[in-house]
Amino acid sequence: MTAFPHGTPVYTNEEIRRIESIAGSQPDAPRLMERAGYAAAELARELAGGSGKRIVVLAGPGNNGGDAFVLARHLKSWWFDVAMIFTGAAEKLSRDAASALSAWRAAGGSFVENPPAAGEIALVVDGLFGTGLKRELTDRYAELIAWINAARAPVLALDVPSGLESDTGRILGCAVQASHTLTFIGLKPGLVTLDGPDYTGDLHIAMLGLEAPHLIRAKGSIIGAEVMGQALPRRKANSHKGSFGSVGIIGGAAGMVGAALLAGRSALSLGAGRVYVGLLDEHGPAVDFAQPELMLRRAEPVLELDHLSSLGVGPGLGQSPQAQGLLHRALGLELPLVLDADALNLVAEDDHARAELVKRTAPTWLTPHPAEAARLLGVGTAEVQYDRIAAALKIATTYRCGVVLKGAGSVCAPDGDRWAINTSGNPGMASAGMGDVLTGILAALLAQGAEPEAALAAGVYLHGAAADALVAQGIGPVGLTASELIDAARALLNQR
């Protein structure tokens, strides 16, 4: 996924409309369509190479098509061979788009009915649909998108790839597979979560001369690499293990001890001074020979320790009556708490646990994957994925906790109003144990005194960035394992 600075605003459709309305109401209002088309033309010229080359431009029935007309006019003036396909009706265009169409015709521009069947194509420009698309694309549009995706040429999408729902990242029947996407004014959520990262290619932003953050305050933002330096201060020379907190991990029922050990190893490697792993399996190991620094105990005694700094509950926990009792005890402790895996499944089924969770005052983070999020909300997984941001915000509101909804473009919601999308990570993370490692990372950062919201953002970013670092070294994405991630995350944390 394309990297952007930490805190880069992400705007919903409604917020973009507000920005455009504010800008349009100002004296000497900017001609945004002209600016968008010119910015896109400059990028298209760069992508296509020298003048004289053929560029196919597809213009749709709305303002995205208007942007495409402006782009085509500039490319023609720069001596590119522009083949323009227009799928709308001139009489139904907005005033700005109709003006752009007239300017294209006045410049000698013409149209072709169908995409070129032969000839060298340097670039295809997708200007069919922008941020307003809500319906599924079929018939003529599905055929055009199929042609775009089969064309042996780079594809530049204007604002969003056509067929990608810009608020959610859902595919509306079919979508353009872009090589590059130039989005206008600011990032949109659908470009960076769910299916968006698979369809946008390299992401570029054209601000169009607007200072959007000064016009409205976006509720969404990007989690970027800079957060790593914000979570924890540099360590003082005059330190000891007690300076960096003690983490408790509760989990490891029979057959699932490895999950608790992964979380414990992760917490230790990411800086916790001491880590206690409380196992439910009465026949579990007394020592982790791969990580002998971990202190392995039965689960109940770990919850009785009076010097814990944070607690992670859920890795390999199971859903037995014993696990349920341990969860209730953990919820009653005034400690920063991370709940994952079966701890989340138990909360979803237990009214008493939900009530305890809601009344907690200590920092609490829930880290569900989509199926766990669906259980917490009492809906199907498809409904969660239909709008990942809305789902994360609803969990945060319902349970009065911070949430990270895991997946491509993980959504972090520190409360029921604000949200951020993580930009690190890759498909190699779709393997067993990754969530356990994240639990350990978050618990370690909290134990070391990181502010809770910064701990969540830094932990989620670090988790994905470690996977990216391993893939860059040739380790994965196929076959990447959770245990390999731990040392890579430690190395990155020490480089901040």
The neighbouring-strand residues paired with 479 are none
What whole-number distance in Å separates Cα of residue 69 and Cα of residue 109? 9
Q: 36 φ, ψ to 5°?
A: -65, -45
The number of folded domains in the chain is 2
Residues 150 and 111 in one domain: yes
Q: 76 φ, ψ to 5°?
A: -65, -40
Per-residue confidence (pLDDT) for residue 45, from 0 to 100: 96
- Note whether residue 1 is domain-resident: no
Neighbour tally for 370: CB within 10 Å? 18
Choosing from 161, 187, 218, the residue where a domain stops is: 218
- Note whether residue 126 is domain-resident: yes
Residues 88 and 232 in one domain: no
Residues 195 and 254 in one domain: no
Residues 186 and 285 in one domain: no
- Note whether residue 4 is domain-resident: no
Q: DSSP 3-state assignment of 243?
A: helix
Q: What DSSP line would sit under 391-417, residue for residue? A: HHHHHHHHHTSEEEE-STT-EEESSSS
Instruction: For the chain, give the number of residues.
Output: 496
What whole-number distance in Å separates Cα of residue 150 and Cα of residue 122? 14
Residues 320 and 421 in one domain: yes
Exposed / middle / buried, residue 179 (Cβ in 10 Å: 0-12, 13-18, 19+):
middle
Tokens of 346: 């138990």
CATH code for position 128: 3.40.50.10260
Residues 179 and 240 in one domain: no
Amino acid, single-letter form, for residue 149: N
Q: What is the pLDDT along the chain (496 residues), one digit of tens a residue?
A: 778 999 999 999 999 999 999 988 887 778 999 999 999 999 999 999 877 899 999 999 999 999 999 999 999 999 999 999 999 999 999 999 999 999 999 999 999 988 887 678 999 999 999 998 999 999 999 999 999 999 989 999 999 999 999 999 999 999 999 999 999 999 999 999 999 999 999 999 999 999 888 889 999 999 999 998 888 878 888 888 888 899 999 999 999 999 999 999 999 999 999 999 999 999 999 999 999 999 999 999 999 999 999 999 999 999 999 999 999 999 999 999 999 999 999 999 999 999 999 999 999 999 999 999 999 999 999 999 999 999 999 999 999 999 999 999 999 999 999 999 999 999 999 999 999 999 999 999 999 999 999 999 999 999 999 999 999 999 989 999 999 999 999 999 999 7
What whole-number distance in Å separates Cα of residue 37 and Cα of residue 68? 6
Q: 280 φ, ψ to 5°?
A: -80, -30
Tokens of 460: 């989620």
Residues 180 and 239 in one domain: no
- pLDDT tens track for 34-52: 999 999 999 999 999 877 8
- pLDDT tens track for 420-450: 999 999 999 999 999 999 999 999 999 999 9
Residues 245 and 189 in one domain: no
CATH code for position 432: 3.40.1190.20
Per-residue confidence (pLDDT) for residue 118, from 0 to 100: 62
- Note whether residue 123 is domain-resident: yes
- Note whether residue 3 is domain-resident: no
Choosing from 200, 218, 236, the residue where a domain stops is: 218
Residues 203 and 237 in one domain: no
Per-residue confidence (pLDDT) for residue 242, from 0 to 100: 85
Per-residue confidence (pLDDT) for residue 83, from 0 to 100: 95
Residues 205 and 151 in one domain: yes
Which residue range forms the structural domain that includes residue 255? 226-495
- Note whether residue 187 is domain-resident: yes
Residues 205 and 325 in one domain: no
Choosing from 173, 196, 218, the residue where a domain stops is: 218
Residues 424 and 484 in one domain: yes
What is the value of pTM for the model shown?
0.94
- Note whether residue 162 is domain-resident: yes
* Phi-psi domain of 137 (left: phi exceeds 0; alpha: psi -120 through 50; beta: other): beta
